[in-house]
Structure 1
Amino acid sequence: MLEVSGIKAGYGSMAVLQGVDMRIERGEVVAVLGSNGVGKTTLNNVISGFIRPSAGSISFKGETLTGRKPRDVVAAGIAHVPEGRKIFPNLSVADNLRLGAFRRASNNVKQNFERICAIFPRLKERLPQSAGTLSGGEQQMLAIGRGMMSEPELLILDEPSLGLSPIMVEEMFGLITKINADGVAVLLVEQNVMQSLGVAGRAYVIEQGRFVMQGEAATLLADPQLRKAYLGM
């Protein structure tokens, strides 16, 4: 469904991605794992159209997305939930959700609103509240719910467990599994290796802008090199 080929990108004269190839099939959960500053968020932003690559190509369902604007990427069926959530704190929870359907699925707002409230019952209890009054975990749910309002076929999650308590981390990864069970493919970009490999079917490990390992999640989890580098085992 998603094909990324030979992508190079960066910021001004600073190169970050050094020629990245990856694919995501329909209905998959694919994890991209790595430490801070190695290119994970840059990869997300290239796919989402926020950064124009200097080389390489991106296609989604056979349609070229290379260099397209973010609104075109959303319209094609990709939703990006950024690191740090980026909700609108002064708007209500309900209004934040409705904004997710601005570019895509605007005719199905009521139906999708009910669907999101079923997936995230905690948000349903807080619809009139200002989004800024929610806990960190609730804000992350809101950010994901807002992305889901556009009926994406691929949902990009950038560090969804960042800053959450251990209990909320468990709940968040359970919700990712639930979303995927509804047929949505997920690109999960995380530092939390154990949890990510527990929900993903395949994974890529990125270091200094290159993928240095890739394969089935279970195989990578058993790899002694990965266990030593990321799990201290």
Structure 2
Amino acid sequence: MLEVQNLIAGYGGADVLRGIGLEVKPGEIVAVLGANGVGKTTLNRALSGLLKPRSGTIRFLGQEIAGLKASAIVAAGLIHVPEGRRIFPNMSVRDNLVLGSYRRGKPAREANLERMFELFPRLRERMGQAAGTLSGGEQQMLAIGRGLMGEPKLLILDEPSLGLSPLLVEEMFALIARIAGEGLAVLLVEQNVVQSLELAARAYVLENGRIVVEGPSSRIAADPALKHAYLGL
């Protein structure tokens, strides 16, 4: 579904990503793990068209998308839920969700809205409420729901557990498992190592702009040397 090869990207004269390669298969949850500052957000921005790569290839559903505009990448079905939620605080919960179908999913907008309210019952209760008045966990639900309104074929989740309480983190990962259980491919970019490895089929560990470890999550989670050297556990 997604195949990245030799991806180099950065800002100004500095390369942040130095030859990244990864893939996501249909219906798969894949985790990209790493500490702050290793290039995770830069990777997401390059994949979603917010940052033009210097070189390398990004193929999505067989189409080369490196360098395409973000709107074209969304239209193809690759949707990125950014770090920090980025909701529109002065707009209602419902209007935030509706905006998610601006580029994709318009014909089924009302049916998808109902699906979001079934998936996130708390959003139904707060449908007319200003999004900025929601709790952090509710705002994250709204951000994911807005992404799902675009009927993604691949959903990139950038640090969905960031800033949430331990109880809400558990709830968030259960929600991601439920979404993926319906067949949606998910690229989960996270600092939460333990739960990401429990959820994902495969994982890539990013360090200093390079993939230093990759493989089945079960192997990475069970290898003390890998956990100590690259994940700080």
Q: TM-score by structure 2 length?
A: 0.98
Shift of 1:227: 2.2
2:172 corresponds in structure 1 to: 172
Residues 81, 143 of structure 2: 8 Å contact kept: yes
1:228 corresponds in structure 2 to: 228
Deviations 1:39-74 (A, max 9, x none): 001000000000000010111111110100000010
1:216 corresponds in structure 2 to: 216
Separation (CA, whole Å) in 2 of partners of 1:198 and 1:91 = 36
Provide runs of 4+ in structure 1 moved above 2 Å: 229-233
Separation (CA, whole Å) in 1 of partners of 2:209 and 2:232 = 22
Amino acid at match of 1:165: S
Separation (CA, whole Å) in 1 of partners of 2:55 and 2:66 = 9
Deviations 1:19-39 (A, max 9, x none): 001000000000000000000
1:16 corresponds in structure 2 to: 16
1:126 corresponds in structure 2 to: 126
2:204 corresponds in structure 1 to: 204
Separation (CA, whole Å) in 2 of partners of 1:211 and 1:125 = 42
2:2 corresponds in structure 1 to: 2
Separation (CA, whole Å) in 1 of partners of 2:222 and 2:70 = 37
Separation (CA, whole Å) in 2 of partners of 1:179 and 1:110 = 19
Q: Give yes or no for the alignment of 1:58 onto 2:58.
A: yes
3-state SS in 2 of match to 1:176: helix
Residues 34, 231 of structure 2: 8 Å contact kept: no
Q: Give yes or no for the alignment of 1:150 onto 2:150.
A: yes
Q: Aligned ranges for residues 38-187 of structure 1 at < 5 Å?
A: 38-187=38-187
Separation (CA, whole Å) in 2 of partners of 1:156 and 1:225 = 28
Residues 201, 216 of structure 1: 8 Å contact kept: yes
Shift of 1:228: 1.6
Q: Structure 1, unaligned stretches of length 5 or more?
A: none
Q: Structure 2, unaligned stretches of length 5 or more?
A: none
Amino acid at match of 2:226: L
Amino acid at match of 1:44: N
3-state SS in 2 of match to 1:4: strand
Separation (CA, whole Å) in 2 of partners of 1:81 and 1:188 = 10
3-state SS in 2 of match to 1:163: coil
Shift of 1:122: 1.1
Separation (CA, whole Å) in 1 of partners of 2:14 and 2:228 = 30
Identity in percent: 61
